[in-house]
Amino acid sequence: MKNLKEKLFLTIGEINERIITIRRDLHAHPELSGQEEHTKYLVKGILEVSGYQIKESNKHFGLIADLMVDENAKTVAIRADMDALPIQEQTGKPYASREKGIMHACGHDSHTAIALGTAIAIAAHKEELPGNLRFIFQPSEESKEGGSVEMIEEGALEGVSAIFGLHAYPYLNSGEIGYKYGVMMASADVFSIEIFGKSAHGARPHEGVDAILVTSMIVNSLNHIVSRMIDPLHPAVISLGTIEGGKASNIICDHVLLKGTVRTINEEIRNNIPQMMEASIEGISKSMGAKYKFDYEFGQPELINHEKIVNIIVDEAEKIIGKEKCIDLIDPVMGGEDFSEYLKLVPGAFFRLGTCDEEKKTCVPQHNSRFDVDDDALQVGMKIMGASALQFLIQSNSLYKKEHDA
């Protein structure tokens, strides 16, 4: 007799073509952060038919779908993000975006399709489930605030004992996965700096306060924080992304606005950086007779995977795709991901799903107009996601284990 996971894999095989079609439909109709309406209704319709109880929000297009089998059993959550990016697609594929200037260039279409497929396949075996399932379809992952915070505030993690998430990854081959113990991704903060000088004739600089010169000294000094004030063994990035200021070639500039981002993988360093930045901005401004305004906004925290949950993913993945296709990623990356908000509150783990296939042209980096995922990776994602979630429930429900081992 087949066990639950074997039955799940069979069902996943049966629905695979349908999930690929759904993924391509989502890809053709991408929606920006906060506008995921079509995506939400597509997801909702499918989940309702599969027997899920849906909780919607009136503030955004995220939804929570529950499959409750036993109130006393544990609940495991699987999260998918649904939003796309403001990029004009250039893949030329038949299912390329039909929306001008909007594109699934981060693979969130595949995340949504994989979670949907996993949900359908698991629901097909409802009577045998060792616990409860929750699927979190989240909006606005790409937005600065991150949609996960709102979902959590609205109860997405209530009663949840563990959470799983994945991300398409063009740096690994389709059929492989990447896992990482501990810190996997960086925190992502944003800041803005305004420098107020005094305008004057360009020929008489001594009568003004040159906000451009002050800014140039600040830019220079901010770049010394990471190289000279932070332990080189702890990665950190301070990047300025925009600079605006000045009106004419012969006027001393009286106002400059700078915007940037800070990434770290260490909470203590992260907390120290704003003070280090401000000390520098303040000192330079003061010495030059300028005034400043400094705003620092803490965004997503570092993404820290929980060892026990990573172990579950690796164990299941090794059985499904083989040990050699499970890659220990070793180094964290400095990109941010708002899945980290869930991991601050419940044990869980995020893993990378390889989507690169040279022939299918799916090895292009994310956020690029030629990005796409290999549809053959969807099945791998569904199987590992589904098996890992079930394994967590089996492990945490010893009664079920005894019955089924006997």
36, 89, 141, 142: which one is catalytic? 141
Least distance to Ni ion, CB of residue 77, Å: 18
- CB under 5 A: which stretch of 106-114, 230-238, 339-347, 394-402 binds Ni ion? 106-114
Are residues 122 and 8 in contact, defined by beta-carbon separation less than 8 angstroms? yes
CA distance 78 to 388: 10
CA distance 85 to 101: 8
31, 83, 150, 189: which one is catalytic? 83
Look up 14 and say whether it is catalytic: no
CA distance 281 to 292: 7
Least distance to Ni ion, CB of residue 52, Å: 24
Nearer to Ni ion, 150 or 337 (CB): 337
Nearer to Ni ion, 109 or 254 (CB): 109
- CB under 5 A: which stretch of 90-98, 105-113, 251-259, 339-347 binds Ni ion? 105-113
* C-beta nearest to Ni ion: residue: 106
Closest CA to 116 of 90, 148, 82, 70: 82
- CB under 5 A: which stretch of 98-106, 149-157, 246-254, 314-322 binds Ni ion? 98-106
The Cα-based distances of 229 to 2, 261, 272, 314, 352 in angstroms read: 59, 18, 10, 38, 33
**Pairing state between β 63-67 and 53-56:** antiparallel
Look up 83 and say whether it is catalytic: yes
Q: How far is CA 199 from the centre of its chain?
A: 44
Are residues 217 and 163 in contact, defined by beta-carbon separation less than 8 angstroms? no
Quickly list H helices, 29-133: 37-49, 108-123
* Neighbouring C-beta atoms of residue 283, cutoff 10 Å: 13
Nearer to Ni ion, 106 or 222 (CB): 106
188 is a site residue for Ni ion (CB under 5 A) = no
DSSP 8-state class, residue 264: E
Nearer to Ni ion, 113 or 253 (CB): 113
* Interior/surface letters 173-208, b for 16+ CB within 10 angstroms, e for the rest: bbbbbbbbbebbbbbbbebebbbebbbbeeeeeeeb
Q: Terminal CA-to-CA distance of the chain, rounded, Å? A: 13
From candidates 42, 106, 213, 373, binder to Ni ion by CB under 5 A? 106
Nearer to Ni ion, 20 or 106 (CB): 106
Least distance to Ni ion, CB of residue 328, Å: 21
Calculate Rg over the CA atoms of the chain. Answer: 24
Nearer to Ni ion, 107 or 260 (CB): 107
Least distance to Ni ion, CB of residue 43, Å: 17
Nearer to Ni ion, 95 or 371 (CB): 371
CB-based contacts of 155, cutoff 8 Å, min separation 6: 55, 64
The Cα-based distances of 353 to 107, 142, 378, 384 in angstroms read: 10, 19, 9, 10
Least distance to Ni ion, CB of residue 336, Å: 10
CB-based contacts of 325, cutoff 8 Å, min separation 6: 173, 175, 176, 177, 317, 354
Least distance to Ni ion, CB of residue 60, Å: 17
Least distance to Ni ion, CB of residue 79, Å: 12
Binding site for Ni ion (CB under 5 A): 106
| Residue positions annotated with a catalytic role | 83, 141
